Amino acid sequence: MIKRKVNTTEQGKQGVTYSENIQIPIRTGKNNNALIVGANDAEMQKRFIEPNLLQANDSYVIAGIPEISAFKIQHEMEEYGRHIQILDLDGYMSTVQYDPLKHIDAEEDAKKIVDCIINNALDDCHLDSLELQLEKTLLTSLILYLVEIADESVCNLNTILWMLKLAYILPANARARPSQYTYYCSNGFDVNNHLDELFNGQRKIVQSIHYRTNQRHLNCEDINNNNEESKLQDLLCNSLCLRQYQLFKCSDIKTQKKVITDAIMRFSLFTDIYKYERGKMSYQKSNTNGELDIQSLRQPKSCLLITYSKASEATKVLTAILISQIYDSLMRESYESRQEVHVKFIIDGIDNACFIPELKHKLTSCQNSNMSFDILLPSITIVEAIYNDWNYISQAFNVYVCFDAIDEHTAEYFRQKIKKNMKNKYAFQKNKYPVACIQKILDKDEIMMLSDYACLVVVSKTGQYIDAKK
């Protein structure tokens, strides 16, 4: 199972390099998910990311590396024929554009975007189960409205924030005919408002450009053409967005108001991250090469580098959305045809970067579609506070690598992994490779001292090894 690591400049070798001398074949009949703990960014780039990219075995989606490292990797890998896409979610150094709403093909895709937003944005928003479900329903309806009904030029996350604020704007004739409205209050919230008129087909979203400042603005305009209004209403009657919005409107007014207010707070994260470029909302400089091509990841020697600031709430949400969309897109493609190229996700810091919904499901089902995940963490203690079911999730990994156990709990975690592996009898081939096979259960102190000279690699149902640094 364990092979000696080959020269990293020698391409085409079938294996994933985890340490200086340990390489595991891609096709093992098991999942290829790996949990890597304790390595800093520089060490991980030198000892894990770059050696695997140079071997050109897989296609990669790497999230969380610094911007400087991304461009260093790009220049190095292009010399070996790698196709590199860089997506900087902070909006400065991207080579491709990305907008989540451009990759929605079904209602389920919109719901997954909403789940990513709810799980990652504003954890201090305390909603009960009913209010939380209503917020998901409302946000799903707005996303589907932009995808199904609205013009493509306004189809972005920033427009959703603008649409939410329409719920606080009354029609012009509201004060003249208050008897037509079932609810009115002094702060301007009404059961019948501009947002309702959008879904009733009485208004439409129009984008305009200020002739002096050349800035773009969104307007909610009346439809004066009867034929256009009738056509829009027919389109809405057969749409998924109207069904979701009607479910939201079944709740009482007080609950609707609270849900909309919390949704505005969540989407306020996206206010400043969008930049207009050539009539589109995107996250890129002016020299980008076009839209993100997800399908190219199934081609040999492809790689997507995702860079972002870990302190940014907006990029945290976008990273979770992007990973989910790439996974779903590649999963659907695998159902249609057999995929020969293995796609590996390398995600750095899910503890403070992004919360990935349905992580357990992704880890267990990716093998059937020739995909795998490598999760990089500073410690086990931190991630257990994020994922309540982490013990259950961690069972989906086949390889466990420890570069530095920074606390006793992390050391105990790896000790238990070794203990579990030692219950079975293994036939070790000694001295064949420069790797020390562990024939005993290490204590916590021994594991915590590994950072001084070696790293620990535990392969489920195969063995455990210590590989010294050069």
- What's the pLDDT at 189? 45
- Cβ count near 214 (within 10 Å): 8
| pTM of the predicted model as reported, rounded to 2 decimal places | 0.82
User: What's the confidence (pLDDT) of residue 188?
Assistant: 43
How much is the pLDDT for 423? 67
Cα–Cα distance list, 195 to 45, 133, 171, 266 (Å): 48, 19, 10, 18
Q: What is the pLDDT of residue 381?
A: 82
Q: What is the pLDDT of residue 428?
A: 42
Question: Which helix H or strand E contains 305, and what residues bound it?
Answer: strand 302-307
CA atoms within 13 A on the CB side of 286: 2
Residues of the chain with confidence (pLDDT) below 50: 1-12, 175-190, 275-287, 425-433
Computed on alpha carbons and rounded to an integer, the radius of gyration of the chain in Å comes to 26
pLDDT of residue 247: 92
Q: Where in the chain is the domain with CATH 3.40.50.300?
A: 16-95+285-468
CA dihedral (22, 27, 30, 35) positive or negative: positive
92-123 pLDDT, tens digit each: 677 888 888 888 988 899 999 998 888 877 65
Supply the pLDDT for residue 242. Answer: 92
For residue range 297-331, list pLDDT tens digits in order: 888 778 898 887 666 777 778 888 899 999 998 88
Note the CATH architecture for domain 16-95+285-468: 3-Layer(aba) Sandwich (3.40)
Residue 223, SS3? coil
Q: What is the pLDDT of residue 451?
A: 65
CA atoms within 13 A on the CB side of 343: 26
